[in-house]
Each structure stands twice: as C-alpha cells, then as structure tokens.
C-alpha cells in the first residue's frame, strides 16, 4: 500500500507538474483518444487521490469506458501521458486490477466460476507454470468474499447476471491490486449483488486501495463514493463529492437531458443534507 | 515413390495386420485428427473457425508456385518437403491479407475472409490448369491435394503428417492457460500483460500447421471441417474446457482414422469427404441426443415448461366452485393428456368419467401455486429493472431463485395487502 519508490535513474515524466505527486495511484496528463479520426476524449488531466472510491460519471458515449481502456493501454492514445505511482503501466501492472464490462465476454464460455477467478492470478503465475492448488485456494477465498462460496464449480452460463458480475469482482480481488478500474459493476444487478459489491468496495478502501468505477446511477453516487469525475469527452469537473458533484456541474456534463437532471438534483440535495 | 497400395480387408487394417504402410498412414491420420480437434476448440472459442477455412484454400497457389520453382531448379517437385513449405507460405500470406484488409479498410472480417479465400483459391486453380498444360512430368499428385487421397500416401508422408500433428498437440498443451484466457476475455488478458497478438499469432500458426499437415490426407477444401466439426460436436456434451478439448480430439481422431481407412480401402474414394462424413455423424448425434445442449433436450425442456404452466392454470381453475368438466379446465391434445397424467400421478386430482375435482393434497398444492404466482408478479413490479433475467414463474419455489430477504419483504407486503383487502 505504500507507494513504490522510483528506481534510481528513472524520472516520472510528470514530476514537473505542480499538482502531481508520486503518491497518486493514477496521473493522467493531456490524454487524447480518437477512434478513426473521431476524438472520444480530449486533453484529459486527472490525478486520482489514493485510498478513495472514485466514480466516473457522464452520459452515454462520453468516453467513460474509453478513459479506463486508454489508461490501461487497451486502446491507443493519440497523445498524453499516464502514470501509476509515477511509473508507466508496464512497471506498475502487478498493482493494477481491472473489471471489464460484463457484456465484454461470452458467458456461455466453457469454464467454471473458479476457473474465471483463477485468471486473476495468471499475472503472477507466469507463462508456463500451471495453476497450483495454492492459487485455487486463494481464488475460492475471493469467491467467498463476494458471497459465491458455494458456486465455485458452477459453469458460468448457469449463473444469474448479478452472480456473473460478482465472479468478475472476485477475479479482480484475486489480483490483489492497489488500484482497481471497474467498468459499470453495478449495471443491471440485483439488490443482493449491489450490497455485496458495496461491501467489497468499502473493505478495499479501508485497506487503502483506490477504486475507479464507471457508474450509471446518479442517485447512489454520493452514497457509495468519495470522489467523482464528471466527463463528457473532456473532464467537466473532478474532486470530492461535496465539491464536484453539484447540479451546475451535472448540468454542464449532461447538457439538457432533463429527466436525468431531476434525478441528479435530488441526489445532490441528499448529498448536501448528508455533509 | 508412389506405390499403389494393396487393399487389405478392414479387419486386417484394424488389427494392424494390413501391412506396415497402412498402419503408419492410419496412425498418422489419427494424430492429425486429434490435433485438428484440439486446435479447433480454440479456433472455435476465439471465433476464428472461418479464418481456418481461408487458410485451407490459400494453400493452393503456394503449392503451385513451390512446384514450379522446384521443377525449374531441377529438384524432385512432387516431394512434400518442397510443397508443404510452399503451402504454408501461401496460407500465411492469405492470413496477413485478411488482417491487413480488416485494419486498413472498413471491410468487416467476414468480407475480408470471403475475398481472400476465393481469390487465393481462384489463383491457385488457374495456376494448376496452367501447370497441367505444360510438359512437366510427375504433376498428377497435385490435384490430390484438393480432396485428399490416403491411398497414395507413402510412409514418409504419413510420418511427416503425424509428426507435425503431434507437435501441434504439444504446443496447445503448453499454451493452454493463455489460449483459454485470451479466448475468454482478451482485454483482461492484455491488462495483466499477456501479449494477445502473440497468443493469437500462435493459434493461427497452429491452424496453418494442422491444415498444411493434413493437405495430403484430407485435402485443402475440407481440412477446415476437421477443425470445426469435432469441437462443435464435442461442445454439445460438456461445459468443461479440458474435457471439451479431450472429447474434440477423440472425435477428430476417430473421424480422421475411420475416413482414412475407408479411403485407403477404396481406390477412388477421396479421403477428405469420407472423413467429413464420419465427423458429421458425430455432430448430428450430439446435436440430437446430447443432454441439456442438444435439440432433443431442448424440445423436452420446452414441453416440460408447457406442462408445468398448464398444470398451474388447471389447479387454479379447479379451485373455482364446481363441478368441473375435463374439457373446461384442461387444455386439449397431448399437453392436456400430459397435464392430467402428471396431476393424477401426484394425487392432486381425482376423476370420475369426464368430471374432475381437486383432492385435499391438490387443494394445498393449488394454494401454494397461487402464492408463488402472486410473489412473482409483485417481484416483477417492484424490481422491474433486474427482474426479467431471474423470472421463472412456475419454478418450484421463488426462494431458490431470489434473495430470501427480498422474498420476505414481498411476503410481508402481500400479507399486509390481503388483510387490508379483507378489512374493506
């Protein structure tokens, strides 16, 4: 959990930035991403505060998933620098975990829940080594933490949508990372799963882990998260909930989408009452 | 080089007494089938089955060019050592063309595959006819690469085929973990540092190896069947990847060796179609008969659901004041007869002539079914956003599907509602 010191001789590319610190698990500087000449993210600057739960919020097509994928190098960046604890992703990879969108995979794939969770250990197992019993044990502990202890041998197509989402979360836990990117873990899940995910997020925070989470439900943002990043192709606002999650910022993020705004202002009001 | 094979009887071949050559060819075909089955599983899961088809077709121009070059240099042009590398080069060029087209243009992959497959093959056929028009000796065997011919295989050819097949099986075992990870979730694989392009490249290399190795025995047109059908057939039977690969290998091996046997036995029968037909039998059997994933199981499952739903409806109709005529409470036809059979078996109804009534046990069952239905309806209304994926109206108990806390809440609501209703 303590940030790694840079190896001697290596210098963070962002060290000159005033607001930047090597303590930050994620630092993004003037990142631009484009698909086929169409820009998706413009000039994004962001420093994630360590040990907090951060929501990424914005309308459809705002580039929320793209932000995560560009940070992880899964889509090419047109420009910009991304650093993790002052290091490039390649050097920090073992400390970063990723939960893709549930729709990203074929759930009819012939593997069991435990097989999927074991994939979270592959980074430390290496190319030619088999998955040992120790790794499988670690993986089943992660399944128990998300409340799926009894379903380890179940084929993944036999799980409900919420259970599938929890399998993904367990795989991320098996990575034992210090920073997590989660792409819509709450999308379309049942109440039991939502509770299980929130519990896990809080447990992670209590250990000093940082979680960056694409989140759709504006109502629960103040309840589940400490920080928020509002994006719509660029960063509209970012900061602690009390500072950045205001109706004015939401208006600027979502434009004139009124139904959403009514929902949002309600959530903001609740956040203000809470603080 | 090409010695016409004497044709021993099937029994002699099966008991490995059909002559050394036949035995070697058979073992080679067996290994090839196993390798194709095992490699094919990952090609299928990674959705690369059609690319494998293009690979097969794309070998033809490579073979022709290799033949011409070898002939010009005065080397023995019919030798596999010359032709197979040519085939591999042709296949790899085809693959690269597909990859380049999908990246550089807006064509989708299927269009690129179709274009490469037909153009490469067309070029190959043109070259083949040109070669046949030339005065070059020893070219007759070239045509056998299209449909495959085990009857003309020499022992050396068979050993080569078996060796390459064995090598690909070992390679799959070594890469198993990575292949599975990339096929399931490539983005996650990339995020933990797996080089996805390298793993995909490895898989494609294996497809090329198997296809080229099988050219002589199965032929370029149908080698793809050996890569696709065994995995698809095996998928009906299991949800475990390890078992799937094993089963697919067994089916592939069985199809290849049986087909090769038939082709070796009948001089004019090309091996490719014989092998594909045997594999097809495995596929059809799995499709029809497999439990859970098969068509037959699907029909039965659907029938079961219909009977359950109609039985529920019948129970609630029978709770209304009687007497009840069978025709007025039960559906007609097969379903109706099944419903009546099921309810009578459980002792829930008794019938006299064409009249039916609930028994005491039936009354209790009807009450339970009613409660279940109400709970589900309430659940659908309350949790509309997540509900549809969970709903199973006639499941035995809602508690098996839905979180118990939610069920308790719903029941409390129902109870409050019905007491308010009786008060009014």
Q: What is the pLDDT of residues B234-267, one digit of tens each?
A: 999 999 999 999 999 999 999 999 988 888 777 7
Higher pLDDT, A143 or B146: A143
Of B207, B214, B208, B213, the residue nearest B231 (C-alpha): B207
Tell me whether strands A26-35 and A179-183 are parallel, antiparallel or unpaired. unpaired
Confidence of residue B390 (pLDDT cuts 50, 70, 90): low
DSSP state of A84: B
- Summarised one tens digit per residue, pLDDT across range B114-143 is 999 999 999 999 999 888 888 776 666 788
Q: Examine the pLDDT at A11 and tell me if it is beyond 60.
A: no
Residue range B66-116, pLDDT digits in tens: 988 888 887 776 678 888 899 999 999 999 999 999 988 888 999 999 999
What pLDDT was estimated at residue B320? 84
pLDDT at A76 exceeding the cut of 80: yes
**pLDDT at residue A10, as a whole number:** 47
Whether residue A97 is predicted with pLDDT greater than 90 in this model: the reply is: yes
Q: Please report which confidence band the pLDDT of residue B366 belongs to, taking 50, 70 and 90 as the band edges.
A: confident
Residue B324 has pLDDT above 70, yes or no: yes
List own/partner pairs for B222-225 with CB under 8 A and 24 or more apart: B222/B56, B222/B147, B222/B148, B222/B272, B222/B273, B222/B275, B222/B276, B223/B36, B223/B56, B223/B148, B223/B272, B224/B49, B224/B52, B224/B53, B224/B55, B224/B56, B225/B272, B225/B275, B225/B276, B225/B279
Q: Is A22 exposed, middle or buried (0-12, 13-18, 19+ CB in 10 A)?
A: middle
Predicted confidence at residue B3, as pLDDT, reads: 43
CATH number, span B17-285: 1.10.3470.10
> Using one digit for the tens of pLDDT, what is the confidence trace for A167-203?
999 999 999 999 999 999 998 888 888 989 999 999 9
Task: Please give the CATH architecture assigned to the domain spanning B294-416.
Answer: Orthogonal Bundle (1.10)
User: In this structure, are residues B51 and B39 in contact, taking their beta carbons and an 8 Å threshold?
Assistant: no
What is the H or E stretch that residue B335 is in? helix B333-345
Q: Which residue has the higher pLDDT, B283 or B150?
A: B283
Say yes or no to pLDDT of B61 above 70: yes
Q: B190-213: per-residue pLDDT in tens?
A: 999 999 999 999 999 999 999 999
Please indicate whether, in this complex, the C-beta atoms of A115 and B241 are within 8 angstroms of each other: yes
Q: What is the DSSP letter of B399?
A: G
Residue A192 and residue B405: Cβ atoms within 8 Å?
Answer: yes
User: What are the residues whose beta carbons fall under 8 Å from the beta carbon of B149, sequence distance 6 or more?
Assistant: B216, B217, B219, B263, B270, B271
Residue B72 has what pLDDT?
85
> Which residue is closest to B235 within chain A, CA to CA?
A110
- Could you tell me where the DSSP H helices lie in chain A? 64-71, 89-92, 113-118, 122-125, 133-145, 161-174, 191-206, 221-224, 241-244, 247-254, 258-274
Of B177, B239, B389, the CB nearest to A110: B239
Determine the Cα–Cα distance for residues B371 and B369; give it in Å rounded to an integer: 5
Q: Write down the pLDDT at residue B340.
A: 87
Q: How far apart are the first and last CA of chain A?
A: 28
- Specify the pLDDT at position B424: 41
Q: How many helices and strands, by DSSP H and E, does chain A display?
A: 11, 9
CB atoms within 10 A of CB A60: 7
Of B185, B193, B389, the CB nearest to A161: B389
Say yes or no to pLDDT of B393 above 70: no
Facing A111 at nearest CB: one of B178, B190, B241: B241
Beta bridge partners of A239: A228
Q: Work out the average pLDDT over A217-229.
A: 92
pTM: 0.82
- Does the distance separating the beta carbons of B188 and A100 come in below 8 Å? yes
Domain ranges of chain B: 17-285, 294-416
A123 in B contact zone (CB under 8 Å):
yes
């Amino acid at each position: 959990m303590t940030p790694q010191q840079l190896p001697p001789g290596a210098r963070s590319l962002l060290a000159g930035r005033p607001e930047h610190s090597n303590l930050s698990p994620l630092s993004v500087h003037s990142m631009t991403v484009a698909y086929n000449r169409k820009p998706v993210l413009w000039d994004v600057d962001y420093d994630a505060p360590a040990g907090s739960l951060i929501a990424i919020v914005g309308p459809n097509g705002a580039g929320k998933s793209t932000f995560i994928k560009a940070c992880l190098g899964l889509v090419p960046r047109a420009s910009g620098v991304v650093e993790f604890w002052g290091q490039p992703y390649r050097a920090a990879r073992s400390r970063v975990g990723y939960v893709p969108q549930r729709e990203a995979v074929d759930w009819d794939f012939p593997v069991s829940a435990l097989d999927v969770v074991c994939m979270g250990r592959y980074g430390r197992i290496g190319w030619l080594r088999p998955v040992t019993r120790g790794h499988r044990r670690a993986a089943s502990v992660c399944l128990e933490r998300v409340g799926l202890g009894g379903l380890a041998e179940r084929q993944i197509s036999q799980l409900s949508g919420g259970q599938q989402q929890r399998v993904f979360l367990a795989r991320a836990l098996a990575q034992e990372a210090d920073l997590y990117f989660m792409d819509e873990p709450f999308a379309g899940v049942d109440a039991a799963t939502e509770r299980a995910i929130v519990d896990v997020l809080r447990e992670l925070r209590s250990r000093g882990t940082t979680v960056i989470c694409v989140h759709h439900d504006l109502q629960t943002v103040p309840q589940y998260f400490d920080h928020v990043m509002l994006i719509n192709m660029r960063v509209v606002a970012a900061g602690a909930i009390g500072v950045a999650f205001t109706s004015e910022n939401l208006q600027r993020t979502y434009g004139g989408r009124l139904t959403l705004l009514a929902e949002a202002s309600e959530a903001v009001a609740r956040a203000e009452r809470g603080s | 080089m090409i010695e016409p094979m004497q044709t021993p009887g099937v029994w002699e071949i099966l008991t490995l007494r059909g002559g050394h050559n036949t035995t070697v060819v058979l073992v080679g075909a067996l290994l090839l089938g196993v390798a194709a089955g095992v490699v094919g599983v990952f090609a299928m899961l990674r959705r690369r089955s059609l690319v494998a088809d293009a690979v097969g077709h794309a070998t033809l121009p490579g073979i022709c060019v290799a033949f011409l070059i070898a002939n010009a240099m005065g080397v023995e042009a019919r030798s596999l050592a010359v032709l197979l590398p040519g085939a591999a080069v042709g296949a790899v060029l085809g693959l690269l063309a597909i990859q380049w087209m999908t990246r550089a243009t807006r064509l989708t992959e299927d269009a690129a595959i179709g274009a490469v497959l037909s153009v490469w093959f067309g070029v190959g056929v043109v070259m083949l006819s040109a070669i046949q028009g030339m005065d070059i000796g020893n070219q007759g065997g070239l045509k056998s690469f299209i449909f495959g011919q085990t009857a003309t295989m020499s022992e050396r050819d068979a050993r080569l085929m078996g060796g390459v097949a064995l090598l690909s099986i070992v390679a799959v075992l070594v890469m198993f973990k990575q292949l599975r990870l990339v096929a399931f979730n490539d983005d996650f694989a990339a995020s933990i540092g797996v080089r996805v392009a390298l793993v995909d490249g490895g898989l494609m290399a294996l497809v090329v190896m198997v296809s080229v190795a099988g050219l002589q025995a199965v032929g370029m047109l149908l080698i793809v069947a050996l890569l696709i059908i065994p995995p698809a057939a095996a998928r009906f039977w299991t949800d475990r990847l390890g078992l799937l690969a094993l089963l697919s290998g067994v089916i592939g091996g069985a199809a290849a060796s049986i087909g090769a046997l038939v082709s070796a036995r009948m001089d004019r029968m090309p091996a490719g179609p014989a092998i594909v037909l045997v594999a097809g039998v495995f596929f059809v059997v799995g499709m029809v008969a497999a439990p859970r994933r098969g068509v037959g199981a699907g029909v039965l499952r659907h029938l079961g659901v219909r009977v359950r739903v109609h039985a529920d409806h019948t129970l609630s109709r029978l709770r209304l004041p009687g007497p009840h005529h069978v025709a007025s409470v039960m559906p007609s036809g097969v379903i109706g007869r099944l419903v009546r059979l099921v309810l009578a078996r459980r002792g829930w109804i008794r019938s006299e002539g064409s009249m039916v009534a609930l028994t005491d046990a039936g009354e209790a069952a009807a009450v339970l079914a009613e409660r279940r239905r109400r709970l589900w309806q309430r659940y659908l209304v309350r949790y509309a956003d997540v509900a549809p994926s969970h709903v199973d109206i006639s499941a035995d108990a809602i508690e098996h599907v839905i979180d118990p806390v939610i069920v308790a809440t719903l029941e409390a609501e129902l109870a409050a509602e019905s007491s308010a209703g009786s008060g009014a």
